[in-house]
Amino acid sequence: MSMNKQRKKKKSQQFSLSVRLLAVVILLLIFAISAVGALSYIKSKEGIVSVIENRLKREINTSFEITRNLMTMYINEPDELQRKMNQSIKQQMAELQREGIAGEVILLQKEKAVTLVENRNVTVDISNPLEKKVERIGEGVVHFQVKDQGYTVAFKQIPEVKSLITSFQLMLEHMQSMFLQLKETTAALDNTGYMLKQASTNSLDHNRQLVEMTDLLQIGASQTATSSEQNINFFQNMNQYIDSMISQMKQLSINTREMDE
């Protein structure tokens, strides 16, 4: 009897040890699965948040460009500006809703937050700390909670209308200055072209006179044997004529250098 009791006790101890080892393994397995699941959930959440942030950045950049262009086009027509902005923003909101993203476009002013969609009220309570943070950063994405509800906000500062008017006026003044400089340059080129044309005409006249002088020299050479006295007078006249031509050529050279300078 005692031997049977010892065997039963030994088997019971072995069974108890096996159960404990199995329990430890199961607990470790559960912990590992939970850790992997938690990490997967965190990574998945971070990926989804990153995708939404990038999408909101693209949307806010699109809204910024559209608003800035409309403010430039309708700078003196506030009603038409508001109407065009409403049309554009409604299209953006419709695209976001089709993708399952609930969004709202809000203009933060010094006095209050104003929705840019006509006939709609601001549904999100924008706190003063958030307004100060947005004003300080100027551009980016932030996350905040209102009544246990999480929100993601993408924001970007829009230049004021006055600054746009100033920039536009500066651009017009710069363009006017460029046109005046272009006009002055064109006038100077016209004057230089006229002077070059006159110099070319004078050069052609002198070349023609040189050709005529050469012809006269040939005629004088052929008459040398028949009339020496006439030849002497002829050569004297030719000498004077050549001196005159040389003087004119020097004057032409001086005029050309002055134009080049």
Q: What is the CA radius of gyration of the chain?
A: 48
Amino acid letter at 160?
E
Q: 141-146 long-range CB contacts below 8 Å, 24 or more apart?
A: 141/53, 141/56, 141/57
In this predicted structure, what is the pLDDT of residue 168? 61
This prediction's pTM = 0.47
User: Three-class SS of residue 106?
Assistant: strand
Look at residue 239 in the predicted model and tell me its pLDDT: 66
Give the whole-angstrom CA distance, residue 193 versus residue 191.
Answer: 5
Q: Which residue is listed with tokens 């950063």?
A: 137
Q: Could you give the CA distance from residue 173 to residue 171 in angstroms, rounded to a whole number?
A: 5
183 CB neighbour count, 10 Å cutoff = 10
Q: What is the pLDDT of residue 132?
A: 74
Torsion from C-alpha of 178, 180, 185, 188, nearest 10 degrees:
-170
pLDDT score, position 201: 73
Nearest to 159 by CA among 67, 82, 92: 67
Q: For position 119, what pLDDT does the model report? A: 45
Which amino acid type is present at position 83? R
The answer to whether the CB of 139 falls within 8 A of the CB of 108 is: no
- Mind listing the pLDDT tens digit of every residue in the chain (261 residues)? 455 555 555 555 555 667 777 788 888 889 888 888 888 888 888 888 888 888 888 888 888 888 778 877 777 777 787 788 888 888 888 887 887 777 777 777 665 555 555 545 555 666 667 777 777 777 878 777 777 777 777 878 776 655 655 666 677 777 777 877 877 777 777 777 777 777 667 666 666 766 666 666 666 556 555 555 565 666 676 667 667 766 766 666 666 566 555
Q: What is the pLDDT of residue 257?
A: 62
